Structure 1
């Protein structure tokens, strides 16, 4: 059984892109009893390793960073001017409570905007300010400085039908899945080299994925992220597809996705009665997979995603059932992978 309490702890731990260290420390403590060793690097990745002597290496990657804001300056009236860190949806943050992460602790604030801009549908992050209650620049500077990160002041709530809402389900869910899939595969007796990377920086630079792939040099990779659910009004299903929260994990089809990996995942899903959904990714996927695939002469890649509603808001909605099914699917995949696996599309012709 997956450990819901640790997932909830992950969601409650702020981890804006560039400030992932506290959450990564919790991942290390949680995974230490279950792994043979860890790999890490100066950029902040944590890679939980099982069966490091195996010549077949499967990299599982889920990013731990989240979107947020960063303080750029403090005004004479004590308000904080901010810029985007990774792509918040600006109108959804108006009036939201936020946490300013400082060296001395959390400072609470509220997102505001100049009244003349309230009806502007094209608001940008630098149109916003954060009110922490200070009345002067000098007072605010006692608590906050430029470069401080901010995240939405929301954690999680359990909803009906085994759903949850919360801040940063993108991509706490994926990071949680890759470490829980390792734990589950270990229970099942996998012998393949498993490298579960909780990567940093996906929302801003993809730096974590680049360095994880370069460090591990995997035989193949499965990236786990979130994708857009379209099971509510005006959700652009024509662009994304019919994807439902609670409908099962989503496989991507596209130019960087290896069809033999997808075929194997489909066979396992059928064998273990795991429902699958599909999305089109004809070019870049917008995930760590884009960076991983281009390392080491082209790493064979599959992308498994969890549908969520209201992506890049302060309260995204997803299904714990989808999370549990993705863990089982990937764990079963780690049992199926054979050492010396030949993923050449021309292996019977050359």
Structure 2
């Protein structure tokens, strides 16, 4: 597992709708490993291995992150914003941010006053960003409405092989799907592998739709983060007991193919990995919700990394979980039979 590239991914801003710089870095990183790339105008990058195989496995991990977008500039030179995805507005108060313009990164700070601190329902539209400008005209020399804004935070390593940083949702998943391809190639996988770093999951899920339509996979493995419930104030009774550092999380729910889940759980056991489960009876809030509905219905499993403090600038996850999911997917690909049957009725005699 190439931690250096993971950390480069974390440090590269990639708001939903502005993923292209990071996608170019992924293509550079993967070009010596893959047979080819497939791309589309919405921004997806699909790293392809063994394209000649009739069995096509789509690995999907979204590469975009939540953020803000400049909507207007006040006469005093402050930037007003709206949300890009599911931001938690109170967490931005007093936060250093980066405004991503066409030519440079402009530093700023999310300002606040007493009424914002006391607000019980703060919205992104109530926030304002101070870039040091003294007038609207001066601010417009650097930024414009439509520019993206992300929190100006870096990653850091914590105890017990944990890391913290902005946009672990879902840099970890995107990293896993490309590393799983690399590892599967080392192990001699022969099935078609299509590792899609998808765009737009946090806002429209457009990348998932376009990737599924393009690849038309036999099956899909979606990799995303899920809520850890191993700290105070979480609701274990809603999704289950999920701990950071305790292994991959498989979702149980209506869009999940049970046969795939069984194969993954059995394989994990043979690899001496612990598997955790989450309840996802309806929509999962991931790319899987859209992938499953494409073509004639794509069987899929959702494999998640437990994450604390999701959609903050200091999310916490475990590199041990990341490593295990890479190995689990890679070995699944190596062991996959091209004639795989995932029908729930395969044992029924007619």
TM-score w.r.t. the length of structure 1 is 0.99
2:93, 2:112 within 8 Å by CA — same for their partners in 1? yes
1:199-229 Cα deviation digits (max 9, x unpaired): 0000000000000000000000000000001
Alpha-carbon shift at residue 146 of structure 1 (Å): 0.0
How many equivalent pairs are there? 349
Q: Which residue of 2 is the match for residue 173 of structure 1?
A: 172
Alpha-carbon shift at residue 115 of structure 1 (Å): 2.7
Question: Aligned equivalents of 1:155 and 1:88: distance in 2?
Answer: 18
Alpha-carbon shift at residue 117 of structure 1 (Å): 2.7
Q: Which residue of 2 is the match for residue 310 of structure 1?
A: 309
Alpha-carbon shift at residue 133 of structure 1 (Å): 0.8
1:13-45 Cα deviation digits (max 9, x unpaired): 000000000000000000011111110101000
Question: Aligned equivalents of 2:43 and 2:116: distance in 1?
Answer: 38
1:113, 1:127 within 8 Å by CA — same for their partners in 2? no
Question: Aligned equivalents of 2:274 and 2:180: distance in 1?
Answer: 17
Question: Aligned equivalents of 2:14 and 2:116: distance in 1?
Answer: 30
Question: Aligned equivalents of 2:205 and 2:88: distance in 1?
Answer: 20
Alpha-carbon shift at residue 113 of structure 1 (Å): 3.3
Question: Aligned equivalents of 2:341 and 2:231: distance in 1?
Answer: 41
Question: Aligned equivalents of 1:116 and 1:331: distance in 2?
Answer: 52
Question: Aligned equivalents of 1:92 and 1:334: distance in 2?
Answer: 40
Matched, 1:320 2:319: yes
Deviates more, 1:103-112 or 1:212-221: 103-112
Matched, 1:219 2:218: yes
Q: Which residue of 1 is the match for residue 283 of structure 2?
A: 284
Q: Which residue of 2 is the match for residue 140 of structure 1?
A: 139
Within a 5 Å distance, the mapping from 1:70-85 to structure 2 comes to 70-85=69-84
Does the residue aligned with 2:52 lie in a helix, a strand or coil?
A: coil
Q: Which residue of 2 is the match for residue 154 of structure 1?
A: 153
Deviates more, 1:196-205 or 1:229-238: 229-238
1:231, 1:245 within 8 Å by CA — same for their partners in 2? yes
Does the residue aligned with 1:34 lie in a helix, a strand or coil?
A: coil
Question: Aligned equivalents of 2:311 and 2:87: distance in 1?
Answer: 5
Structure 1, gaps ≥5 residues long: none
Q: Which residue of 2 is the match for residue 94 of structure 1?
A: 93
Q: Which residue of 2 is the match for residue 32 of structure 1?
A: 31
Alpha-carbon shift at residue 114 of structure 1 (Å): 4.2
RMSD: 0.7
Matched, 1:62 2:61: yes
Question: Aligned equivalents of 2:82 and 2:236: distance in 1?
Answer: 30
Q: Which residue of 2 is the match for residue 235 of structure 1?
A: 234
Stretches of 4+ aligned residues off by more than 4 angstroms: none
Question: Aligned equivalents of 2:112 and 2:229: distance in 1?
Answer: 30
Question: Aligned equivalents of 1:16 and 1:345: distance in 2?
Answer: 39
Alpha-carbon shift at residue 239 of structure 1 (Å): 1.4
Q: Which residue of 1 is the match for residue 48 of structure 2?
A: 49
Alpha-carbon shift at residue 241 of structure 1 (Å): 1.3
Question: Aligned equivalents of 2:126 and 2:158: distance in 1?
Answer: 33
Alpha-carbon shift at residue 138 of structure 1 (Å): 0.7
TM-score w.r.t. the length of structure 2 is 0.99
Question: Aligned equivalents of 2:347 and 2:190: distance in 1?
Answer: 27
Within a 5 Å distance, the mapping from 1:188-203 to structure 2 comes to 188-203=187-202
Q: Which residue of 2 is the match for residue 118 of structure 1?
A: 117
Matched, 1:345 2:344: yes
2:57, 2:221 within 8 Å by CA — same for their partners in 1? yes
Question: Aligned equivalents of 1:256 and 1:155: distance in 2?
Answer: 35
Question: Aligned equivalents of 1:6 and 1:101: distance in 2?
Answer: 22
1:140-174 Cα deviation digits (max 9, x unpaired): 11100000000000020011110000010000000
Question: Aligned equivalents of 2:347 and 2:259: distance in 1?
Answer: 14
1:174, 1:224 within 8 Å by CA — same for their partners in 2? yes
Question: Aligned equivalents of 1:43 and 1:52: distance in 2?
Answer: 22
Alpha-carbon shift at residue 120 of structure 1 (Å): 1.0
2:239, 2:280 within 8 Å by CA — same for their partners in 1? no
